[in-house]
Amino acid sequence: MEHSYEFVNLYPEQIKKDPKYQREIDVSRIKKITKHWDDDLVNPPKVSLRENGNYYVFNGQHTLAAWKKRYGNRPILCKVYRGLTETEEKDLFVKQEGFAKAVGQVEKLRAEYNAGTQDVVDMVKCATIAGCIIDFETLPSNSKNRINAIAAAYNCYKSVGHDHFINILDILRRAFYGDQLAFQDGFIKGMGYLFKNYSDQFSIGKMVEALSRQPVEWYRQKANMYVGQSSALKYAKAFSEQYNKRKSRGRIEIGE
């Protein structure tokens, strides 16, 4: 769908940022843009003029910040769109291409969540039910029960569905006592692999009990021993090996 726009000179102070879908400011990137600034190469920031008369940047906030650093509040030429809904702003932000920095998966998912996209909203609700936190922040944190590998969590949710996804997060939380390292990419993928392919071969309660016998780092080291295999399969094997210890029956038998 084509949207109408015009090129308008705006004062930087007129332009707002919508935190519901914009990524966090990368200070080092602003410094780099400022240092290598070339007026002939810089793309005009893309801005939405909303019905309330306010201007919101949805593509080019780093360019805008670098401009302010160089020129203060001197007017900058912007590509101004009229009549966009906030959802359309979000969609254009997510789909932006060209010379703009690629929008990361976390930023995309945060935009979708704030726009009310059902599967992303449901993923967050599932995490809450499981006692976990998805806040879409990209900065590192050591908070307990916080999921940093949001893209892996979303892919897992889409792959295994609502109920299994809750069980996966619940197992990781209980077995590792909320240790954030247990919510990294490999752990989520590995447990997702088990639930997708072998959920009928193990007990959730016994899985929690079995995994809790070793620290998080043990599973990371064990997974790295399976050279040349996917992250999901490596961790699935590490989990199943621990689960199968002391069991002569009811074992998880992972095929190659």
Structure confidence by residue, pLDDT tens digits, 155-183: 999 999 999 999 999 999 999 999 989 99
Q: What is the pLDDT of residue 148?
A: 86
**Averaged pLDDT, 146-158:** 93
Is pLDDT of 231 > 80? yes
Q: What is the pLDDT of residue 163?
A: 96
Q: What is the pLDDT of residue 19?
A: 75
Give phi and psi for 62, each to the nearest 5: -75, -35
Is pLDDT of 13 > 80? yes
Q: What is the pLDDT of residue 100?
A: 42
How many CB atoms within 10 Å of residue 83?
A: 12
What proportion of the chain, given as a percentage, has pLDDT over 70?
A: 91
Distance (Å) of CA 16 to CA 12, 31, 122, 173: 9, 21, 29, 39
Task: List, for residues 63-106, the tens digit of each pLDDT value.
Answer: 999 999 999 999 999 999 998 988 888 778 766 643 344 447 88
Q: Are 114 and 123 in contact (CB under 8 A)?
A: no
Q: What is the pLDDT of residue 105?
A: 80
Instruction: Tell me the C-alpha distance between 188 and 172, whole Å.
Output: 8
| Residues ≥6 apart with Cβ < 8 Å to 209 | none
| Residues ≥6 apart with Cβ < 8 Å to 154 | 105, 109, 120, 123
Q: Are 228 and 170 in contact (CB under 8 A)?
A: no
| Domains in the chain: boundaries | 5-101, 118-244
Q: How confident is the model at residue 21 (pLDDT cuts 50, 70, 90)?
A: low
Could you tell me the fold of the domain covering 5-101? 3.90.1530
